[in-house]
């Protein structure tokens, strides 16, 4: 190396030392190290992320199920939260009847529409024009939680390959049959069109959407039962 070049290098090193720029000196002698990727949720921030998640879940009480548009009803009680609540109980019974893990099924039922806190609900008219990126929502919503179990359960349900995921989906469908039967009982004229097939007018038409034998049995019972039958034999005019 020529003397002039050595002198220039020495001058730069001295200047760096004088200014305390050690990082610049290191960069002259070795390649820069890649900074490790930071986790989206630090251990000390677990409580904060969980709090955010719980606030988000609470908003589902304010997200209406949008089939009210096509069913011509303004049922303010039918939200994603109220729907998921009954689906969870349906899923528990189906899991027991089908001999699968009730914990997984119930958790999938609670999670199955959780993404609609971010995408909103869409009826079958909307679905023609709207694409929902469920994988991205699940990753951003559940994949950022301190524990990965909810994310993995959400993915398992979305893939619909395990028996638990299939049972959870049946539970989702059964709640819709229940709701349509309730609307029909109240005199809604659109509900029977969905319950009995608009064109073929088939009995138990929605039961065809169900996969498991247990779900099909419950589905038929819903068609045959009055929504008000649950309080027969227990009502009274007098307080105790």
pTM above 0.95, yes or no: no
pLDDT tens, position by position, 116-158? 999 999 998 999 999 999 999 999 999 999 999 999 999 999 9
> Which CATH homologous superfamily contains domain 46-226?
Hypothetical protein af1432 (1.10.3210.10)
End-to-end distance of the chain based on CA atoms, in angstroms?
Answer: 105
pLDDT tens, position by position, 174-210? 999 999 999 999 999 999 999 998 777 889 999 999 9
Average pLDDT over residues 106-115: 98
pLDDT on residue 178: 98
Nearest to 114 by CA among 140, 92, 95: 140
What is the rounded distance in angstroms from the CA atom of residue 42 to the CA atom of residue 48?
10
pLDDT on residue 45: 76
How many helices (H) and strands (E) the chain has is answered by 11, 0
> In the structure, what pLDDT confidence band is assigned to residue 15 with cuts at 50, 70 and 90?
low
pLDDT on residue 201: 80
């Amino acid at each position: 190396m020529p003397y002039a070049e050595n002198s220039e290098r020495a001058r730069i090193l001295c200047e760096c030392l004088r200014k305390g720029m050690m990082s610049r000196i290191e960069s002259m002698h070795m390649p820069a190290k890649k900074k490790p990727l930071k986790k989206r949720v630090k251990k000390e921030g677990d409580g904060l992320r969980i709090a955010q998640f719980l606030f988000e879940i609470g908003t589902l009480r304010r997200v209406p199920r949008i089939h009210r548009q096509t069913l011509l009803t303004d049922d303010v009680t039918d939200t994603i939260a109220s729907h998921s609540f009954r689906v969870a109980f349906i899923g528990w019974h189906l899991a027991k009847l089908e001999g699968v893990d009730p914990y997984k099924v119930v958790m999938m039922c609670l999670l199955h529409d959780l993404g609609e806190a971010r995408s909103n609900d869409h009826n079958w008219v909307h679905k023609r024009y709207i694409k929902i990126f469920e994988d991205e929502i699940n990753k951003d919503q559940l994949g950022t939680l301190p524990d990965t179990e909810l994310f993995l359960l959400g993915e398992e349900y979305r893939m619909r390959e395990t028996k638990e995921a299939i049972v959870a989906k049946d539970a989702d469908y059964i709640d819709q049959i229940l709701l349509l039967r309730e609307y029909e009982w109240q005199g809604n004229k659109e509900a029977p069109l969905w319950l009995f097939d608009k064109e073929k007018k088939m009995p138990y038409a929605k039961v065809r959407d169900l996969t498991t034998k247990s779900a099909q049995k419950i589905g038929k019972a819903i068609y045959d039962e009055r929504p008000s039958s649950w309080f027969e034999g227990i009502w009274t005019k007098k307080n105790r």
